[in-house]
Amino acid sequence: MKVKAGDTIRFLNISGGGVVTRVEGKLVFVEDQDGFEVPVMANEVVLIKDESKAADKPAEIEEVVEDTYEYEEVGDDSDPKFFVAFLSGEQSGQESGNLRVQLINDSNYFAYYTIANVRKDAQVDLLFNGLIEPNTKISLDKMTVLQLDDRQWKVDMILFKKNKSYKNMAPLSEVFKIKAARFFKENSFADNDYYHEKAVLIPLIKGEFERKLDELTQKDVDKIVKEKEAKPVRKKYAKRDEPGILEVDLHIDELIDTTAGLSKGEILGIQTDKFKQIMKENEIQRGRKLVFIHGVGTGTLKTEIRKLLDRQYKKHSYQDASFKEYGYGATMVII
């Protein structure tokens, strides 16, 4: 989508809009209804009226314009991500405060979406629907914490691309339950890659491990728990005293006393927060070696740590830590 001076637009992530006064690269300057000029990224606006086209042109001409949509792709299509995000309102953590609800599309696909509340009689009430563009996030609503309590949301999506071939993706359909209690927990709102503030992110595309876990019966879960209690599988690592090396164990039971009531996503958030804290504390100690013990397990924590290193800590090098001492269960970062 290309905009130019004179076009009327609306903002994607906040309410409002206005008339484009000028465009500088990917930055669009918009004059709002109060006469103020507001700079905004081009991918965060939606074109409402193209000044170069007469208002009385037939609808089919507009359709041709839509078919020539142009957009930049980011990365590849191997790992599309969609999230429903909850951000704190004016009175965070209080019954009277609002939560801001947003939808995140971290992929190169367009998506038609519907989000509905599933009632106890299995009927659904539509809450939100529309089209979300690639690599964007949009605001859905503001809700109080208690409005969300004990809700079960069903999200359906159809993914596609415009003007180019693409790998066909099966329609997405996920159901997740919302408990108000999670928004009152200290670690529920966590740092993330999508906002400058902490948020609760609920993934709408589950990985293979999460899907297999959903298929387990309670009997299967009880059996696995009993086996783990009888025979701990986590390797214990000896503490290192070698100068210049800081060893940090990121196993969750080393960081907090209990995981009761925490989801897998919340646990991962605590572990990555600890990783970021250690990196910040040592960012100026050139040559310092940090060994982060993440274990083997499903590989989720290791993958998340390496994503953070590739995205946020590019100036530091990293490698597998000593295989003799840690096996495949640790990553060494060299500041």
Are 81-205 and 217-334 equal in CATH topology? no
Lowest mean pLDDT among 15-19, 155-159, 313-317: 15-19
pLDDT at position 40, please? 81
> Which CATH code of 3.30.390.30, 2.60.40.1600, 1.10.10.10, 1.10.3720.10 fits the domain covering 81-205?
2.60.40.1600
Q: Is 236 exposed, middle or buried (0-12, 13-18, 19+ CB in 10 A)?
A: exposed
Domain layout of the chain by residue ranges: 8-67, 81-205, 217-334
Residues 191-200 have pLDDT tens digits of 888 888 888 8
Topology (CATH level 3) of domain 217-334: Ribosomal Protein S8; Chain: A, domain 1 (3.30.1370)
Residues 275-333 have pLDDT tens digits of 999 999 988 888 889 999 988 777 889 999 999 999 999 899 999 988 888 888 899 99
Q: Which residue intervals of the chain are DSSP H helices?
A: 59-67, 145-148, 208-215, 218-230, 252-255, 264-281, 300-311, 323-326
Q: 21 near 13, Cβ under 8 Å? A: no
pLDDT value at 142 more than 60: yes
pLDDT value at 237 more than 50: no
**Most confident residue range from 82-86, 93-97, 243-247:** 82-86
pLDDT at position 276, please? 93
* Residue 264: both structure tokens together: 């897998």
Give me the phi and psi of 273, to 5 degrees please. Answer: -60, -40
